[in-house]
A and B are shown apart, each in its own frame.
Chain A
Amino acid sequence: MRLAVVGAGDVGRAVAEMAGDRGHEVVALADSETAVVDGAGVDVDAALARKGESGRVGDADPDAALSADYDALVEATPTTLGDAQPGFRHARTALSRDRHVVLANKGPVAERYGDLRESAGDSAGRVRMEAAVGGAVPVLSTIEDLGAGQVTAVRGVLNGTANFVLSRMAAAGLDFEHVLSEAQDLGVAEADPSFDVEGTDAALKCVILANVLRDGTPGERPGGWLSLSDAEVDGIRDLPPSALALAREDGRTVRLVGEVTRESVRVGPRLVPEHGTLAVTGTRNIVEIETRDAGRLAISGRGAGGPETASAVLADVWRLG
C-alpha cells in the first residue's frame, strides 16, 4: 500500500521505517513544518537523517503530503483536545479524496467521533485507529472481531506512565514526586506529565472505546457520541504512599483504571487485587473485555513506544489492504 505519514515523532518515524519491510511504500512524509513527497517512494532513511540534522524532513509544504498520491494516510501528529486540529483536518482531507485513514492520534476519534464518522460515511475510504488505544495491544480489532454489540464493558490500565508510577510507589514505598522524577529520568514520563498522571490520556482512550461500543450497537444512540467532557476523570497526583501501603496490607493495590460502558466513561485510581489481572507492573497496559456470551477476555502488552505503536498502525494498514 502507498502511505502518506503525517507526523514525524516516535510513532510516525517508526511507521516510515518499518513500512518497507511489510511491503508498503512511503510516498509522503511530513512533520509539522515540512514534507517530502515522492511518488516513486520517499527515501525514508535520508529524510529521517535530515530531520535529525536540521529538524525538517524535507522542503515541501506539509500540506503537500495530504495531496500526494497515497492509498492510506497515517495520522501520527500529537493528540490535541477540543477541535482536535490539525489531526482532524488531515483525516477529513484524506477521506474527501476517498483515501483510507489510519489514526495513531487520539484527538479526532475521542473528541470528534461523530464528525469523523460523517466524513467517512461520504467517502470510499475507511478509518481505523488501533494505535490510538493501548499501543501494541490489539484492543479495537479484538472488539471488532467479537462484534462491538457483544461487548458489554471494557476496562483496563491504559497509561503506562501512570502505571509505572503507581507500581513503583507501591513496591518501594516512595512518594509521587520522587517516582515521577525517576520516570522522567528514564524517559517513561514527559517533562510535563499532566496528560498522563491526571488521567486525560487514559480517558481519551476510554472515550474512543465507548464510541466504538456505541457505534457497534444497532438502533438509536441517545446523546450521540462521547467526548472527553463526558468522562469522569480523576488522576493519581494526590495519592500518598500510605494509601498504597494500606491497600497492600489488605492484599490489594491501586491502579489507574478506565471503566467503559456504552453509557459512561470513568477513569481514576481503583483498588484492585494485588495479584489480579489488572495489577500489571511497569509501563505495561492491560485491557479486559466483558462479553455477553464469551465471558471475560484480557489482553496485555506494551501500550506506548514508537515501534510498538507503529506495529498497530501497520496492522491497520494490512487490514485495509
Chain B
Amino acid sequence: MTDSGALAAYTVRLELADEPGELLRALEPIADHGGNLLSIYHERGDVTPRGRVPVEVDLECPPDRFDDLVAALRDAGIDLVRAGHQRYDESVTVLLSGDLVETDLSGTIDALQDRAGLSVVDFELSAPEGPEGVSSARLRLAVERGGVEAALSAVRQVADRKDLQVVEPLGARAGTPRADGGTDVGDRAESSRGGDRPGGDRR
C-alpha cells in the first residue's frame, strides 16, 4: 500500500495512428514519469473521422509529476485529446451479482461510465454457471474527491433497475473522518494493486 494521498488517478485520452508499436510508444512516457497504468481502453473498431484510434488510459501518478508526464507525451508526438480534465481522487470497489449477462452487462457498465465524475477503471466478471446463470462482477470506479457516495448511488440505481445485488465497500455512507485524516470510503491507497495489472482490460 502506498501512503494515502501520494498518488492521484487521471484519465488521459489519446488518438493513435492505427500502426504497430503506436500504443507502446504512448505508454513509455507514462511509465518513465512514475505513472502506474490502471487500465487501457483501446477499441480498434472504433475509429475517429480522421482514421485514428481513440485510446483511453487510466493511470495513477504523484500529482506533482502529472504535468511532466503530459508534456512528455506531447514531446513524443502523441496526439493528446484530453488530459487531466477528469481528475479522479478516490477509487471504490463494488461487487454486483445476479443475471448480469442476461441484463446487458456492457449496458450496465456504460450506464455507469456515462455519469459525470465517474470512470469504471477495472472490471472483472465471474460467470461459473455460464451466461444464463447467476454471475458476479467486480468493478473499480475512479471518482472525484467526495464523489464516492454519488458513485455508489449510481451503482444502486442501475442495480435496482436490473434486480442485481450490490456489495458495497464498507463505510460508504456512514463513513466518518478517521483520526489519521484519511476517509473510510475511498481506498486511494489501493493504487498499488491497480499498478500490478497494467492494461487490465475492462471489457
Contacts and interface: CB of A to CB of B under 8 A. Distances in A.
Interface of A: 152-153, 155, 234, 238-243, 245-247, 249-252, 254, 257, 259-261, 264, 266, 268-272, 278, 290, 295-296
B174 A240 contact: no
Given A240-B136, A268-B168, A270-B168, A249 B95 contact: no
A266 B167 contact: no
Contact of A238 (B98, B124, B179): B98
B167 A242 contact: no
A242 B127 contact: yes
Contact of A264 (B124, B127, B173, B193): B173
Contacts, number: 88
B174 A259 contact: yes
B138 A264 contact: no
Contact of B168 (A153, A239, A271): A271
Contacts of B193: 250-251
A266 B173 contact: yes
B97 A242 contact: yes
Contact of A290 (B95, B136, B168, B176): B176
A215 to B, nearest CB: 18
Contacts of A264: 173-174
Contacts of B169: 270-272
Contacts of A246: 95, 124, 126, 136-138
Nearest to A153: B176
A247 B173 contact: no
Contacts of B179: 295-296
Interface of B is mostly: strand
B171 interface: yes
B179 to A, nearest CB: 5
29 contacts: A152-B176, A239-B165, A240-B134, A241-B128, A242-B97, A242-B128, A242-B136, A243-B95, A243-B126, A245-B126, A246-B137, A246-B138, A247-B95, A250-B124, A252-B93, A259-B173, A259-B174, A260-B174, A266-B174, A268-B167, A269-B165, A269-B167, A271-B95, A271-B167, A271-B168, A271-B169, A278-B170, A295-B178, A295-B179
A239 B95 CA distance: 10
A42 to B, nearest CB: 45
Given A246-B136, A272-B169, 11 more contacts: A240-B134, A240-B135, A245-B126, A246-B95, A250-B124, A254-B95, A259-B170, A261-B176, A271-B169, A295-B178, A296-B178
A297 B15 CA distance: 51
A91 to B, nearest CB: 29
B94 interface: yes
Contacts of B178: 290, 295-296
Contact of A259 (B97, B98, B137, B171): B171
Nearest to B178: A296
Contact of B170 (A241, A249, A272): A272
Nearest to A268: B168
A231 to B, nearest CB: 12
B169 to A, nearest CB: 5
Contacts of B95: 243, 246-247, 254, 271
Interface string B135-146: 111100000000
The 9 closest A-B pairs by CB, nearest first: A243-B136, A242-B136, A242-B126, A259-B174, A246-B138, A295-B179, A270-B170, A243-B97, A271-B169
A261 B126 contact: no
Contacts of B170: 155, 257, 259, 270-272, 278
A257 B170 CA distance: 8
B97 A238 contact: yes
Contacts of B136: 240, 242-243, 245-246
A278 B169 CA distance: 12
A292 to B, nearest CB: 9
Nearest to A235: B165
A210 to B, nearest CB: 10
